[in-house]
Chain A
Amino acid sequence: MRLVAIGLVAGLFSALFGVGGGIVIVPLLLGIAAFGAREATATSLGAIVVTATAGVALYALHDKVDPGYAALVGIPAMAGALIGTTAQQRISTRVLTLAFAVFLTAVGVWLLAG
């Protein structure tokens, strides 16, 4: 029942914003479903495959999906994700996390102002 509730919230978030839903699923799995950190991240990725596929299918009915652009950013991102997961074991992510937070704030302000 808790998992169903997590799914409902994650789906709404995912479709509305075009994100996978991991930012919602991971904290909820940790907080209300007593998952461990690794299990939460892994299970979130599995759920996202289903959620994002449903989102693409429904948005395609409204003719909103651009496969060319998706390939343009999605294919390099796959390569980047492999590099990122490997590098994670070698470097401290603490400073990087803070720098990324600053960057996201700047982009957020740009979108709010634009």
Chain B
Amino acid sequence: MSTSTIILAVCLGLVAGMMSGLLGVGGGILFVPLLVALGLGQVEAAATSLLAIIPTAAVGALRQSRYGNLRVRAALIIGVASIVGVEVGVRIATSVPEHVLRRLFGALLIAVAVQLAWRARTSKESYPRPT
């Protein structure tokens, strides 16, 4: 990896974090295309993105729990139940061709873009402000 690639990755990581803080989306959804652009395959990008997400989500959850917004029991139920879905998702991702997965991800990005545009259009305050 060249120095300029590293600098670019750090800058884009910073921007991805800022967007997630500002809009509530933009962690994984930006990490994955960024990692693909850096040369990882679609599955490696997804797997690596998940690792990059953990600290940011953990810090966010801790901050929110101090304000009393985090429902711990509900989060645990969703989190533990999600493990079954994760197992299925990993099996699918590691068995379908990469280009299929990449196109599905492209479609997901456009769907999220439509949802964001809709929210910006219909409400003055698109996302809850942190307390």
Instruction: Tell me which of A58, A75, A97 has the highest count of chain B C-beta atoms within 10 A of its own C-beta.
Output: A97
Contact of A77 among B33, B56, B115 (CB under 8 A): B56
Q: Across the interface, do B104 and A16 meet the contact criterion of CB distance under 8 Å?
A: yes
Contact of B13 among A50, A62, A76, A105 (CB under 8 A): A76
CB distance from A70 to the nearest CB of B (A): 4
Size class of the A contact interface (CB-based, 8 Å): 35 or more
Which residues of B from 1 to 33 have beta carbons under 8 Å from A? Answer: 6, 9-29, 31-33
Which residues of A from 24 to 53 have beta carbons under 8 Å from B? Answer: 25-26, 29, 33, 35, 37-39, 41-53
Q: Across the interface, do B110 and A108 meet the contact criterion of CB distance under 8 Å?
A: yes
Q: How far is the CA of A91 from the CA of B86 in the complex (A)?
A: 36
Which residues of A from 86 to 114 have beta carbons under 8 Å from B? Answer: 86-89, 93-94, 96-98, 100-102, 104-105, 107-112, 114
Q: Across the interface, do B16 and A18 meet the contact criterion of CB distance under 8 Å?
A: no
Q: Mark B43-86, 1 if CB is under 8 A from A, else 0.
A: 11111111111111111110111010111101111111111111
